[in-house]
Amino acid sequence: MKIIIGNDHAAPEMKWEIVKYLKELGHEPINFGVDSRESCNYPDIGEKVGRAVVNGEGDCGILICGTGVGISIAANKVKGVRAAVCSDTTTARLVKQHNNANIIAFGARIIGIEAAKDIVKAYLDAEFEGGRHQDRINLIHAIEGYH
Ligand code: RB5
């Protein structure tokens, strides 16, 4: 899978580790994040990754900032993005199965690298279940103004 990955200055090291892990799993990570600790604005990264995922430049996205929250809030402002902050593997599995999340986010200041890798794997291994969950996603689309 092509996976768009973005991060702010709180997370270059964790991003590099996740990029390496994605390659080991046979995926193609595309780096939209920053590679230095110089202060930057997480909304810019969240928006860029959100737009890229919605435009089909990748199959899904991974966002990392200090908490995972700011960058996911920004991504979720892009129509069609369903970005979910995950700090555990159960959430990571369920956001794919039930919410068909197209982006997961986590915080480099919140979880360690092993938890982050497990979260990525749980999300990528899970499949959307459709059915009543699709009906609910359609309701989300209605809020966004889809017809
Ligand atoms: C940057 O210091 C920090 O605010 C950011 O990485 C993130 O945690 C925001 O939600």
Residues with CB under 6 A from ligand 1: 8, 10, 42, 65-67, 69-70
The 10s digit of each residue's pLDDT in 6-65 is 999 999 999 999 999 999 999 999 999 999 999 999 999 999 999 999 999 999 999 999
Residue 146 pLDDT > 80, yes or no? no
Token pair for 33? 């994040």
Cα 68 to ligand 1 centre (Å): 8
Residue 147 pLDDT > 60, yes or no? no
Ligand 1 test: best mutation among 7, 42, 47, 110, most atoms within 8 Å of CB? 42
The rounded distance, in Å, linking the Cα atoms of 137 and 58 is 20
Q: Whose CA is nearest to atom 5 of ligand 1?
A: 66
Please name which of 123, 82, 115 lies closest in space to residue 14, comparing C-alpha atoms: 115
The 10s digit of each residue's pLDDT in 88-129 is 999 999 999 999 999 999 999 999 999 999 999 999 999 999
- Count of CB atoms situated within 10 Å of the CB of 17: 16
